[in-house]
Amino acid sequence: MKKVGVAILGLGVVGGGTYKILTEHSQFYKKNHGLEIVVESVLERNKERALSLGIEESKIAGSIAEICSNPEVDIIVEVMGGVEPAKSYVLAALNAGKSVVTSNKELYCKYSHELEKTAKKNHCGLFYEASCVGGVPVIRALTDNLQGNVIKSMLGIINGTTNYILTKMANAGASYVEVLEEAKKLGYAEANPSADVDGYDAVYKLSILSSLAFHTKVPYTEIYREGISEISSVDIAYGKQLGYVIKLLAIGKNTEKGIEVRVHPAFIKVEHPLASVNDSFNAVYLTGDSVEDVMLYGRGAGAKPTGSAIVGDIIYCATHPNFVYSPFENTEKADPATKFIKNFESAYYLRIVAADKAGVLSKVTSILGKYGISMAQVIQAKEGAEGAVPLVIITHETYENSINKAVADINSASEIAKVAAVIRVV
């Protein structure tokens, strides 16, 4: 029987879930893997929380140094979140020769180059399955199982909070503000929900996933980002009439022209498999040249779903002594040879609140025509407030720069009130 000593840094939701899985399944790991996994130490300021999980007081460490110098500890699990002090603790662990398992997407996304260099130098493992899409095993699918492919694209719903909010807005016709408040009460959204609703959390995850998928470093700073706070239930309802569902999508494409990476709300066809990923569920839809389409679906957050990914990494670490690192040059910045496409192509949904006058539609179409934008679908709804008429257009594929110029021109045309919404259509 091989003994594996584990220390857990942080006993919040994920740390607690990890501890429970390890203790509840300990006989299973002995029987099926020949591993006696023992939680030797925890770092948690809230002593009561540790004790309430059944952890002996003697195992509550006073400092990271105490854990790093404990010869019984082989693997350190970092589930604290945020950059500091998590980064200093992970570097200390690696420099002490301990392998690290982390769920920290912000830390891994921003500093994996430094963490990995330190792990290599000290011949340690560095595992991060839990950093992206919680319990959904997408990292190892990319690093191992999908190696028979050149991955062409990925489409992901990789933030549960925003998916919950958009699902509720669509089902209940409620406003963004109302649903956000409800999400906070239910504990889905944080008191400061910016990381989720403004798309940062999804950007960190997309940086990690697209680097692995496309075998080149995709720094988060290269990713276009737009959150969901401007989405209105009016647009969700028009989208529904036209056969679309709105999602916060993380999009990665590897084309001959370069890499395209973006996080923004988008309409997708109701028939697309991602359209039925609802509530706080996550999914990643990958297209490889051999396998074609694959969709991985499940819980992207939560105590046991994320704990499941962490425990999977602990067992992988304990059973694979030859550590493998990033399958690309893991530098802070992108390889200078990598080209990132900023003026990407997309179809667009436009909602224009127009004056109810003859010639308005032709004025709009002539502005769109000036930039080579053609229309695929149009709805002219009934007269709205003060004689204004909502005009909803779905365009054919065009360029981001073209749509921006067309929107600016429409907004400056006197007989047209304003473009009230621009949403990409995937």
CA–CA separation, 347 and 425 (whole Å): 5
Catalytic residue flag (residue 205): yes
In this structure, are residues 390 and 384 in contact, taking their beta carbons and an 8 Å threshold? yes
315 CB-near residues (< 8 Å, 6+ apart): 29, 33, 35, 37
In this structure, are residues 325 and 116 in contact, taking their beta carbons and an 8 Å threshold? yes
Query: Least Å distance between CB 265 and ligand HSE?
Result: 15
If one asks whether residue 196 binds ligand HSE (CB under 6 A), the answer comes out as: yes
Candidates 41, 159, 210, 395; binder of ligand HSE (CB under 6 A) is: 159
If one asks whether residue 104 binds ligand HSE (CB under 6 A), the answer comes out as: no
Q: Choose, from 110, 205, 217, 304, the residue flagged as catalytic.
A: 205
Candidates 41, 104, 161, 167; binder of ligand HSE (CB under 6 A) is: 161
- Find the part of the chain contacting ligand HSE (CB under 6 A) among 154-162, 225-233, 264-272, 337-345: 154-162
- Find the part of the chain contacting ligand HSE (CB under 6 A) among 41-49, 156-164, 313-321, 329-337: 156-164
Cα torsion 313, 314, 316, 318 to 10°: value is: 160
Query: Least Å distance between CB 159 and ligand HSE?
Result: 4
If one asks whether residue 102 binds ligand HSE (CB under 6 A), the answer comes out as: no
**252 or 300, CB closer to ligand HSE?**
300
In this structure, are residues 208 and 105 in contact, taking their beta carbons and an 8 Å threshold? yes
Query: Least Å distance between CB 27 and ligand HSE?
Result: 30
Binding mask 275-304 for ligand HSE (x = CB under 6 A): -------------------------xx---
Task: Provide the 10 A C-beta neighbour count for residue 137.
Answer: 19
72 CB-near residues (< 8 Å, 6+ apart): 5, 38, 40, 41
Query: Least Å distance between CB 208 and ligand HSE?
Result: 11
**200 or 348, CB closer to ligand HSE?**
200
In this structure, are residues 100 and 9 in contact, taking their beta carbons and an 8 Å threshold? no
Candidates 44, 106, 201, 222; binder of ligand HSE (CB under 6 A) is: 201
CA–CA separation, 306 and 101 (whole Å): 12
Cα of first residue to Cα of last residue in the chain, in angstroms, is 52
Query: Least Å distance between CB 134 and ligand HSE?
Result: 6
CA–CA separation, 210 and 213 (whole Å): 5
In this structure, are residues 288 and 187 in contact, taking their beta carbons and an 8 Å threshold? no
If one asks whether residue 160 binds ligand HSE (CB under 6 A), the answer comes out as: yes
Note the residues at the interface with ligand HSE (CB under 6 A).
159-161, 196, 201, 300-301
Catalytic residue ranges? 205
